[in-house]
Amino acid sequence: MTIYNLPVEYDNVPARERKLVREQYIKEQSNLCMFCNEDLFSEPPERITEQNIDWNFFPPGFLNNPIHLQHDHSTGLTEGAVHAYCNAVMWQKHGR
């Protein structure tokens, strides 16, 4: 398995390798979402899913992949693995 020196610049990682970066974050985060700190392999907590999200800002199928690789849009650096719903909340509510 390739080991990455995290964080990495999201746009410099080929799309086919982003899964590997995401998997490394999952392992390093002990399977916990970097945003809500809950198990990535479970549904995000209600305090996250009860937040009103305007899904018109997101591409179709955004929630199809339950775990996303979060990156800071201003720096381009990856930050960690998050639930897809947490990713939407981070972007829409916190500008990340």
Domain membership flag for residue 83: yes
* pLDDT tens column, 14-24: 989 999 999 99
Assess whether pLDDT exceeds 90 at residue 95. Answer: no
How many domains does the chain divide into? 1
Q: Give residue 1's pLDDT.
A: 62
Q: Give residue 93's pLDDT.
A: 79
Q: What is the CATH number of the domain that holds 85?
A: 3.40.1800
Domain hosting 17: range is 10-50+60-94
* pLDDT tens column, 29-84: 999 999 999 999 999 999 999 999 999 999 999 999 999 999 998 899 999 999 99
Question: What are the C-alpha distances in Å from 72 to residues 43, 47, 48, 65?
Answer: 23, 23, 19, 19
Domain membership flag for residue 37: yes
Q: Give residue 37's pLDDT.
A: 98
